[in-house]
Amino acid sequence: MLDLSSYSAIIFDMDGTLIDSMGAHIQAWRMTCEHFSYPFDGDFMHGLGGVPTRQTVVLLNEKFNLQHSPDDVAAKKREFWLTLDDTPRIIEQTHQVLQHYHGKLKMGIGTGAERAHAVDLLNKTGLDQLVTTLVTASDVTHGKPHPETFLTVAQLLGVEPAKCVVFEDTLIGKEAATRAGMDCILVLDGQIQQEGQSLLLA
């Protein structure tokens, strides 16, 4: 098990870090891009994991010189996502960390998802019983890579940023954590990484 005893709090991203839902999100984005005539780039979209949906639309408009309404595209993406009827699955390695340190360190979730979506996923997976401090895209002015999401979690937990460690699955999320003054551990394809290597938990 990772030794996180030097920290006072752990902050988890949600999609792709605690819950394996990125595949469904990417599929929904593929459908959305086709609907609005954005060229679909899977690697580009995965790299935007953690960025709020409306901000993702702004980036797509900039990349492809289009002018679609962020609200309209976000609504359609959510519509497509709901049609997929995806069953969320807990990511085992981060769940082990969560369970091991539950009651020992303070814990929160900082996600780029909208609050209704985040609450739904946490309820379906039972994670709402383990982590009650939640900051979503609905709760902040600036989404990742801005540090506001993680700084807000730390504030709600009553912990200094430097005493928090973040688990994230994207470089944009890692940038947000770094800008917040927090250490960050990456989770790639469900595997916790340490210094670029997959870390198997004992």
Cα dist from 31 to 44, 64, 82, 88, 154, whole Å: 15, 17, 12, 19, 36
Inside any domain, residue 136: yes
CATH for 121: 3.40.50.1000
The answer to whether residues 141 and 114 belong to one domain is: yes
Could you tell me if 179 and 101 lie in one domain? yes
Given the residues 13, 15, 20, 169, select the one marked as catalytic.
13
φ/ψ of 177, rounded to 5, equals -65, -45
pTM above 0.85, yes or no: no
Same domain, 15 and 45: no
Name the packing angle between helices 53-64 and 70-83 (round to 10°).
Answer: 120
Q: Is the bond preceding 70 in cis, omega lying within 30 degrees of 0?
A: no
Asked whether residue 128 falls in the same domain as residue 79, the answer is no
Segments forming the whole domain that contains residue 14: 9-20+89-198
**pLDDT tens-digit readout, 85-101:** 777 889 999 999 999 99
Give the pLDDT confidence score for residue 87 in this predicted structure.
75
Q: Does 22 score more than 80 pLDDT?
A: no
Domain identity same for 112 and 128: yes
Looking at the domain assignment, is residue 3 inside a domain?
no
> Is 167 found in the same domain as 107?
yes
State how far the Cα of 139 lies from the Cα of 133, in Å rounded to an integer. Answer: 12
How many domains, the chain?
A: 2
**56-60, 87-91, 175-179: segment of lowest average pLDDT:** 87-91
The pLDDT assigned to 195 comes to: 55
Q: Which residue is it, tokens 């303070």?
A: 106
The secondary structure of 112-165 as a DSSP string is SS-HHHHHHHHHHHTGGGT--EEE-GGG-SS-TTSTHHHHHHHHHHT--GGGEE
Active site residue 13: yes
